[in-house]
Amino acid sequence: MIPLSVKEHIWRKEYIDIFTLLEVRVAVLDLKAEKEEDKDKKRVRPERNIANWGQAFRTMACIIIEKFPECAGALWLYEYSIHAAHANYQGDARSESVV
């Protein structure tokens, strides 16, 4: 579940790192910490790849459509365009540089 504060940032068109929508909290490492909700929990950062981007984008798109349903078509067309570009020009933008 995405916190309302994050949704409000998206609705105000403020920048968020899209991959933060995928962050999950792992199990409590110390049994004593279970009583204190956030103590000794770690965040797991998802790998930045096209599959995770797609998952995060779909989450963000659903949040946008919740408030602005008229944007649905444009969001799904954008996602399709990104996946089509990736299919045609595969690679990892972080590992290759343009000279």
pLDDT class for 93, splitting at 50, 70, 90? low
Kindly state whether residue 97 falls inside one of the protein's structural domains.
no
Is residue 2 scored above 70 in pLDDT?
Answer: yes
User: Angle 22-27-32 (CA atoms, 0-180°, nearest 5)?
Assistant: 145
**30 lies in a domain?**
yes
Residue 99 lies in a domain: no
Residue type present at position 70: E
Identify which has the larger pLDDT, 49 or 36: 49
**First vs last Cα of the chain: how many Å apart?**
42
Any residues with CB less than 8 A from the CB of 86 and at least 6 apart, and which?
A: 50
Buried b (16+ CB within 10 A) or exposed e, 56-87: bbebbbebbeeeeeeeeeebeeeeeeeeeebe
What pLDDT is attached to residue 80? 95
CA distance 97 to 69: 38
Check residue 17 and give its pLDDT: 93
Assess if residue 40 is contained within a domain: yes
Instruction: Please identify which residue in the block is written with the tokens 């995405």.
Output: 2
Please give the tally of structural domains in the chain: 1
Determine the pLDDT at residue 97: 45
Residue predicted with more confidence, 25 or 75: 75
In a domain, 94, yes or no: no
